[in-house]
Amino acid sequence: MSNLKTQIEAVTAQIEVAAKQAKRSANDITLLAVSKTKPESSIIDAFNAGQRCFGENYIQEAEQKILSLKANTILSNDIQWHFIGPIQSNKTKKIAELFDWVQSVDRLKIAKRLNEQRPEALAPLNICLQVNISEEIQKAGVSIDEVFELASQISTMSSLKLRGLMAIPANTDDETLLQKQFNKLKQVFEELKSQHPSVDTLSMGMSQDMQLAINNGSTMVRIGTAIFGKRN
């Protein structure tokens, strides 16, 4: 058994335990494997272990891997690609062409460009707004006050499909603070869901805080290190 398969099974088991503790179904939580900086061969190993959703942060790196894997008929077109990194406006065209989801939309200009540049032959691009829940000034993401207006604007764009929210919490071991931020995001998510029926995704939780995130209602955890090991 490949090491990666063991890691994916271990993470899946952790998700199941956390879901059970939270009295939720593990089926309601999607595992996104964050493959940034990792080689194509690792993605193929993870695919062979049953993993289908992958997250990438850097467009140049992602483009190479995605085009090469799309040309690989064994993988057919079964992989779902999520862009989760910071977005510069000159990169939106490639993102709109290559990805199925974009989780890091944080301003109207980016949403408009993705909407215009999404090829017509493809299904609408699934969108999560990245929210700055820690309210650190240097952090990416829209503030909670701005979420609803931006979401309403995106919901009118025909080549985009509003799916939900994504956040990276404060970089801290303080569980009380994390808990507070996750819980706040969950409240915003519930309100957004009541306004937009297409909203079903709360993307929060990474290798370090997956359990706490699931306990607070996460529907998608983004896991890099716990699957692929440390990044250089």
Binding site for ligand PLP (CB under 6 A): 34, 36, 57, 84, 168, 206-208, 222-226
Distance CA 214, CA 14 (A): 10
Q: How far is the CB of 71 from ligand PLP (least distance, A)?
A: 26
Q: How far is the CB of 208 from ligand PLP (least distance, A)?
A: 6
Q: How far is the CB of 120 from ligand PLP (least distance, A)?
A: 29
Helix H or strand E encompassing 18: helix 3-21
Q: How far is the CB of 12 from ligand PLP (least distance, A)?
A: 14
Q: How far is the CB of 167 from ligand PLP (least distance, A)?
A: 9
Residue 21 or 225 having the CB closest to ligand PLP: 225
User: DSSP letter at 142?
Assistant: B
Of 60, 194, 192, give the one whose Cα is nearest residue 202: 192
Residue 34 or 133 having the CB closest to ligand PLP: 34
Residue 119 or 229 having the CB closest to ligand PLP: 229
Residue 25 or 225 having the CB closest to ligand PLP: 225
Residue 74 or 166 having the CB closest to ligand PLP: 166
SS3 6: helix
- Position of minimal CB gap to ligand PLP: 224
Helix and strand element counts for the chain (H, E): 9, 8
Residue type, 229: G
CB distance 33 to 228 below 8 Å = yes
Sequence-ordered list of residues with C-beta below 8 angstroms from that of 6, at least 6 positions apart, any chain: none
Angle formed by the axes of helices 144-155 and 175-195, to 10°? 30
